[in-house]
């Protein structure tokens, strides 16, 4: 760094770059004037004789300008010299800055090495002290082990000697105490508790096995998990729902839920007939719930309702004409599944002036063609699930058949509800 500073001081700030020499002035007005006079004389000669006074005056001026040009040519030429900053100065300055940064970094590294060296010395001293302590502890352990070994050997020999002495001197050995215990032991309570625990364990295991092997539904939560459908209502029984006060309340709630459906509300507002399909695997529960729903819509909702009872396949059911019921807005008709072949597509157009809403009870399985045909044209379908009768696999197949046909399932109605567990245990199931 000192050498670089010394060289920087000896270097000049500016150095020679180039020099330009010329003998021609930058702005030659004399030559411009000569050219102008020569052009003017040529123009005058074309018009006048060379002896005319004006031409002679031009000749005199031209001679004077030429003499001036010859005089200017005899003068020495001018030059331009350029100087620039010395590049060696910038190089030396950059080198000095780099050396300064390197010296500072080396100083920092040296300080860090000194600190690490001091720490290593302290750590070495600590390890040396720890090694001395470990060596002392090992020697103490060896001494204690030797002492313990000697004591054990001596104790065994002393014990053997005492045993031999006692056996040699003793004449009577006590095998059992001569008196019986004052209090006896009764194991009946322990056996009773064990039997109760075993009975509870067996009952719980049997319940779990029965739940796994059971194919029918017991509560509505099982139906929701298996079919992935919402529950629209739970009924104690599907027979004579309108006759009992509790049944009327439950069927009224079901009708209110259906009337809040956006698709049904839109069609009723446009004056178009709405088709509701009530389907299920059990004919009695399906027909009873559909008939009760139709009565509720006609009586309390004020809708012109047509109830169509489609008999289950394999049963004897003849097609009957349109029969009015005791309610003013309710009509009933019974048809067979064969009568719907080829006519289900035209059913909405045929019923456009007959009723506001049509409730179709169509019990059957996933293999019945009538269920699929009605699901395709119905605005909403309701599945009826009966507790302890409807099996899970056929119910799932019926749901898939309705959805595959293009139908929309609003939910399911659960019938045959009863309290499986009493009291507080009902809320935990």
Nearest to 248 by CA among 264, 235, 258: 235
What integer pLDDT is reported at residue 118 of this predicted model? 93
In angstroms, rounded to a whole number, what is the distance separating the alpha carbons of residues 348 and 52?
129
Q: Which of 363, 362, 294 is nearest to 324 (CA)?
A: 294
pLDDT at 321: 57
Task: Report whether 318 contacts 334 (CB < 8 A).
Answer: yes
pLDDT at 338 over 70: no
Angle at 352 between CA 346 and CA 355, to 5 degrees: 120
pLDDT of residue 126: 93
pLDDT confidence tier of residue 317, bands split at 50, 70 and 90: very low
pLDDT tens for 203-224 read 888 877 776 767 788 888 888 8
User: Do residues 265 and 410 lie in contact, with contact meaning Cβ atoms separated by under 8 Å?
Assistant: no
- Dihedral angle at the C-alpha atoms of 400, 347, 414, 410, nearest 10 degrees? 60
**Average pLDDT of the residues in 240-256:** 76
Q: What is the mean pLDDT of residues 2-31?
A: 68
Checking if the pLDDT of 183 tops 70, the result is no
In the structure, what pLDDT confidence band is assigned to residue 330 with cuts at 50, 70 and 90? confident
Instruction: Please return the burial class of 386, using the count of CB atoms within 10 Å of its CB with bins 0-12, 13-18 and 19+.
Output: buried
Pairing mode, strands 409-415 and 357-361: unpaired
For residue 320, the model assigns a pLDDT of 55
Torsion angle of alpha carbons 243, 248, 250, 256, nearest 10°?
140
Strand 330-335, strand 323-324: pairing: antiparallel
Report the pLDDT value the prediction gives residue 315, as an integer from 0 to 100: 47
Strand segments (E) across 225-379: 231-235, 274-280, 305-310, 323-324, 330-335, 357-361
Residue 328 reports pLDDT greater than 90: no
**Residue written as tokens 């004399």?**
30
Q: If we measure between CA atoms, which residue out of 94, 65, 115, 104 comes closest to residue 7?
A: 94
Give the pLDDT mean for 43-70: 82
Provide the token pair at 193. 């508790």
Q: Which token pair is 364?
A: 């059957």
The most confident of the ranges 138-152, 214-228, 320-334 is: 138-152
297 vs 237: CA distance, rounded Å:
19
pLDDT, one tens digit per residue, over 66-106 is 888 777 766 655 656 677 777 777 787 888 888 888 988 99
Q: Give percent of the chain above pLDDT 90.
A: 14
Per-residue pLDDT at 176 exceeds 70: no
Classified as helix, coil or strand, 42 is: helix
Contact indicator for 338, 372 with CB cutoff of 8 Å:
no
Residue 234 per-residue DSSP state? E
3-class secondary-structure state, position 421: coil
The answer on pLDDT for 133 being more than 90 is yes
Query: In which band, very low, low, confident or very high, does the pLDDT at 346 lie, cut at 50, 70 and 90?
Result: low
pTM: 0.49
- Which of residues 284 and 82 earns the better pLDDT score? 284
- CATH of the structural domain 217-428, one choice from 3.40.50.2000, 2.40.160.20, 3.40.50.300, 3.30.2350.10: 3.40.50.300
Identify the bridge partners of residue 280 per DSSP, sorted by sequence position: 384
Cβ pair 381, 277 in contact under 8 A? yes
Cβ proximity of 321 and 345 under 8 Å: no
Secondary structure letter of residue 391 according to DSSP: B
CB 361 within 8 A of CB 276: no
């Amino acid at each position: 760094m000192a050498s670089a500073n010394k060289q920087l001081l000896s270097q000049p700030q500016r150095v020679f770059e180039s020099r330009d020499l010329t003998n021609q002035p930058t702005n030659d007005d004399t030559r411009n004037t000569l050219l102008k006079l020569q052009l003017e004389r040529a123009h005058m000669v074309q018009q006048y004789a060379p002896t005319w006074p004006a031409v002679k005056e031009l000749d005199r001026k031209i001679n004077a300008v030429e003499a001036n040009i010859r005089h200017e040519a005899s003068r020495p030429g001018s030059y331009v010299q350029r100087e620039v900053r010395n590049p060696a100065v910038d190089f030396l300055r950059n080198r000095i800055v780099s050396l300064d940064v390197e010296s500072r970094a080396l100083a920092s590294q040296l300080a860090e090495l000194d600190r690490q060296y001091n720490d290593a010395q302290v750590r070495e001293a600590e390890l040396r002290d720890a090694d001395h302590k470990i060596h002392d502890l090992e020697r103490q352990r060896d001494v204690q082990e030797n002492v313990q070994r000697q004591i054990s050997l001596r104790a065994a020999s002393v014990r053997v000697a005492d045993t031999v002495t006692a056996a040699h001197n003793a004449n009577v050995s006590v095998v059992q105490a001569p008196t019986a215990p004052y209090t006896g032991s009764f194991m009946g309570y322990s056996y009773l508790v064990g039997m109760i625990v075993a009975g509870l364990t067996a009952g719980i295991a049997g319940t779990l096995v029965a739940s796994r092997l059971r194919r029918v539904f017991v509560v509505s939560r099982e139906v929701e998990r298996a079919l992935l459908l919402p529950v629209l209502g739970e009924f104690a029984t599907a027979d004579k729902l309108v006759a009992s006060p509790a049944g009327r309340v439950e069927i009224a709630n079901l009708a209110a839920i259906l009337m809040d459906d956006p698709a049904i509300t839109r069609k009723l507002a446009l004056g178009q007939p709405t088709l509701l399909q009530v389907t299920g695997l059990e004919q009695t529960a399906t027909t009873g719930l559909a008939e009760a729903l139709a009565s509720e819509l006609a009586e309390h909702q004020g809708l012109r309702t047509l109830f169509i009872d489609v008999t289950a396949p394999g049963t004897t059911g003849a097609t009957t004409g349109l029969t009015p019921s005791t309610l003013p807005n309710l009509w009933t008709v019974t048809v067979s599944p064969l009568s719907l072949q080829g006519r289900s597509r035209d059913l909405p157009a045929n019923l456009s002036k007959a009723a506001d809403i049509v409730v179709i009870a169509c019990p059957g399985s996933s293999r019945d063609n009538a269920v699929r045909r009605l699901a395709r044209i119905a605005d909403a379908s309701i599945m009826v699930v009966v507790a302890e009768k409807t099996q899970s696999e056929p119910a799932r197949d019926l749901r898939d058949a309705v959805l595959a046909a293009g139908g929309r399932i609003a939910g399911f109605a659960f019938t045959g509800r009863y309290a499986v567990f009493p009291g507080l245990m009902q809320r935990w199931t």
